[in-house]
Each structure stands twice: as C-alpha cells, then as structure tokens.
C-alpha cells in the first residue's frame, strides 16, 4: 500500500509542479508592468527594511498609491507575511513564493485522495491557476495562505481536527479571508473544541489587528471601491481570454459534479464549503486574485468528476471491444 508521502513523489506531479513554478517565476521576472497591489506590498517591505513599523509602512505605501491614508482597516493586511519576508533581500521575494506555490500543488494532490489519475489531474488543473497567477501574485497574501486550508482539509480525512484548525488559524493570520474556514469547521465538524479554540485565537489576532490598523487610518482618507467592473467570467477563470473563460467555466461545472458525487467525503465538503464564499465574494466585490485562494479545492472536485466519468465509460468500451 502506498503512503501519502509517496503520492507527492509521483514524478508526474513533481514535474508539473516544479515546471509550473519555475516558468511562472521566470515569467514574472520578465514582466514590464507592475501590478498595483504588488507595488504597495514591495513598498511596505522596503520601508520595513528601513526600520518603519508595518502599519506605518502600509499607510505610507497607500499614500503613494492613492494620495491619501486609508479610512478603514480593511486596507491593511495582517503583518505576518511582511514580517516573514522583510528579512530577505528584495530579489529573493519572488523566488520564495515558490514555497506556497509548490505547497498548493502538493495540497491539491493530498486532497484528491488515493486515485493516482485524480491526483495528477487535480495538480495539473491547479498548476494552470498557479502559472497564470504567480507572475502577479507572488506577494499577495491569498497565495501564501491558500495551501494551509487545503492541507487542513486533507487532515480531516483522518479526523485530525486539532491540526486542521491550527492550519486554518495560521492561514487566517496571514489573510483574514481564510477565517471562513474556521467558521466552516465549527459548523460541519463534530469535534468542535479545536475549532472553538482556533476561533478564539483568531479573535485575539483580529482585535490586535483592528487596534493597530485603526491607529494608522484617517477618517477623511480614501478607500478603493469594492465592485465588479469586468464580466463575471473574469473573476472565475485563469485569465481573461475567451479560452481561459471557457476553461474556467468547464472546471467549475465539473467541480459541481464532483462535489455532488463525493458529497460523502467530509474533507472535500470542508474544502469546498471554505472556498465557496471566496468564489462568490470575488465575483461580487471584483477581486479576481481571490481565485488563487479557492482554485485547488475546485480543481480537485473537477478532477474527481473527470475520473468518475472515465471509469463509467471505460468498462462499456472494454465490453464493446470484446
């Protein structure tokens, strides 16, 4: 019997993940246009390296971007990721993003389960999102927290709620959006004490963040609007081309089929329930980069649907040929 560790040593999975991250990273280094949020995150890190505190550095970076301090705490990310990256030179940040990118691919393989074909397809689909996103999102907190929630879902296959809740808490500390996973765990899991403890920890983190961020805001400042300005498919697809839109729709439809067929799998239910609010929120609020936060569970569900369809057709084909 193969172990889960051996799943990650599958040469096809390793090749897909490493090639995707390498190509995405190199493509990012060749990019001429700088993403607006990327410029803010880089400015924050550079200011922290010069000795500024995180919240003051963020406020100053947003003044550079918008001409005014933010008026709400929602414009501030938590200081966790910036604190981890600030000690490293700027040239290393893009390459360090290989860590969460590879982790996201590995997490997709674990969540897909024991079927080798499903694992490979799940990683392949996840790699599409990573390849498109990595050149732009290497400093985005969504990328750095996404794998932790998927690993948490995989841990629930063995009823390891303590580990899962801890991973979700870590993801929430990186990006508050992932706090949805803590609420999902509390609702769908029977072992509630770990999730209640994690929520208590998240509440403490949130309180400190709101206090520190509130001191750096300006009531008369500026907040970018939360609204969708592009077609809906732009927020649901790995790209904005017609082909990418078609692929995004196909993956989502397959994921719906896979979710229904495997609704008895508590790990997959948890992962998809944690991803759904982010999917809907990205569409409503116009945040296409949130896709990197939910692409892996959706890719896994789509892969399971494809494998189910293949196994239903294959026996018929074999019978007809005899």
Question: Would you state the pLDDT for residue 227?
Answer: 84
User: Tell me: the pLDDT tens digits for 10-53?
Assistant: 999 999 999 999 999 999 999 887 888 999 999 999 999 999 99
Residue 288, domain member (yes or no): yes
Work out the pLDDT band at 309, boundaries 50, 70, 90: confident
> What 3-state class would DSSP assign to 72?
coil
> What 3-state class would DSSP assign to 116?
helix
Residue 267, domain member (yes or no): yes
Average confidence (pLDDT) over 81-93: 97
Mean pLDDT over each residue of the chain, to the nearest integer:
93
Residue 189, domain member (yes or no): yes
Question: Would you state the pLDDT for residue 4?
Answer: 76
**Cβ distance 38 to 186 under 8 Å?**
no
Residue 75, domain member (yes or no): no
CA–CA gap between residue 272 and residue 277 (Å, rounded):
9
CA–CA gap between residue 83 and residue 53 (Å, rounded):
10
Question: Would you state the pLDDT for residue 322?
Answer: 38
What angle (nearest 5°) sits at the alpha carbon of residue 229, between those of residues 227 and 234? 110
**Cβ distance 175 to 77 under 8 Å?**
yes
Residue 290, domain member (yes or no): yes
Considering only 89-98, 142-151, 304-313, which range has the smallest mean pLDDT? 304-313
Residue 44, domain member (yes or no): no
Work out the pLDDT band at 317, boundaries 50, 70, 90: very low
Range of the domain at 256: 4-28+97-315
Question: Would you state the pLDDT for residue 312?
Answer: 65
Average confidence (pLDDT) over 55-65: 95
Considering only 181-185, 255-259, 312-316, which range has the smallest mean pLDDT? 312-316
**Cβ distance 116 to 124 under 8 Å?**
no
Q: Smallest Cα–Cα separation from 28: which of 123, 143, 180, 117? A: 143
Question: Would you state the pLDDT for residue 313?
Answer: 55
* pLDDT at position 321 over 60: no
Helices (H) and strands (E) in the chain, counts: 15, 0
**Cβ distance 118 to 112 under 8 Å?**
yes
Provide the CB-side half-sphere exposure for 136 (13 A, CA). Answer: 17
Identify the residue whose tokens are 């403490």: 204
Work out the pLDDT band at 2, boundaries 50, 70, 90: low
The number of domains in the chain is 1
Work out the pLDDT band at 257, boundaries 50, 70, 90: very high
Residue 280, domain member (yes or no): yes
Q: 241: buried, middle or exposed (CB in 10 Å: 19+, 13-18, 0-12)?
A: exposed
Residue 320, domain member (yes or no): no
Work out the number of other CB atoms within 10 angstroms of the CB of residue 317.
Answer: 9
Average confidence (pLDDT) over 79-103: 97
CA–CA gap between residue 84 and residue 43 (Å, rounded):
15
CA–CA gap between residue 284 and residue 291 (Å, rounded):
13
H/E stretch holding 20: helix 11-29
Structure tokens at 178: 């992932």
């Amino acid at each position: 019997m193969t172990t889960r560790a051996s799943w990650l040593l599958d040469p096809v999975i390793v090749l897909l993940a490493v090639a995707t991250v390498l190509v995405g990273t190199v493509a990012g280094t060749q990019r001429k246009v700088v993403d607006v949020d990327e410029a803010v995150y880089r400015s924050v890190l550079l200011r922290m390296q010069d000795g500024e505190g995180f919240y003051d550095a963020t406020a100053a970076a947003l003044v550079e971007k918008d001409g005014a301090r933010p008026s709400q705490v929602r414009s501030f990310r938590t200081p966790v990721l910036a604190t981890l990256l600030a000690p490293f030179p700027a040239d290393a940040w893009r390459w360090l993003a290989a860590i969460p990118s590879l982790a996201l691919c590995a997490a997709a393989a674990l969540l897909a389960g024991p079927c080798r074909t499903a694992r490979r397809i799940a990683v392949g689909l996840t790699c599409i999102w990573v390849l498109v996103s990595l050149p732009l999102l290497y400093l985005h907190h969504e990328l750095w927290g996404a794998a932790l929630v998927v690993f948490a879902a995989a841990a629930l296959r063995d009823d390891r709620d303590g580990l899962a809740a801890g991973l979700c808490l870590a993801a929430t500390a990186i990006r508050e959006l992932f706090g949805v996973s803590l609420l999902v765990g509390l609702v769908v899991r029977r072992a509630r004490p770990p999730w209640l403890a994690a929520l208590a920890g998240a509440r403490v983190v949130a309180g400190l963040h709101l206090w520190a961020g509130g001191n750096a805001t300006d009531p008369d400042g500026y907040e970018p609007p939360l609204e969708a300005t592009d077609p809906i498919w732009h927020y649901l697809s790995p790209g904005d081309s017609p082909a990418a839109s078609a692929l995004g729709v196909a993956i989502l439809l397959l994921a719906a089929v896979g979710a229904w067929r495997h609704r008895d799998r508590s790990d997959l239910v948890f992962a998809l329930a944690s991803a759904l609010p982010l999917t809907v929120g990205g569409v409503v609020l116009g945040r296409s980069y949130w896709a990197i936060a939910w692409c892996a569970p959706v890719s896994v569900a789509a892969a399971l649907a494809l494998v189910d369809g293949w196994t239903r057709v294959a026996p018929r084909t074999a019978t007809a040929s005899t």
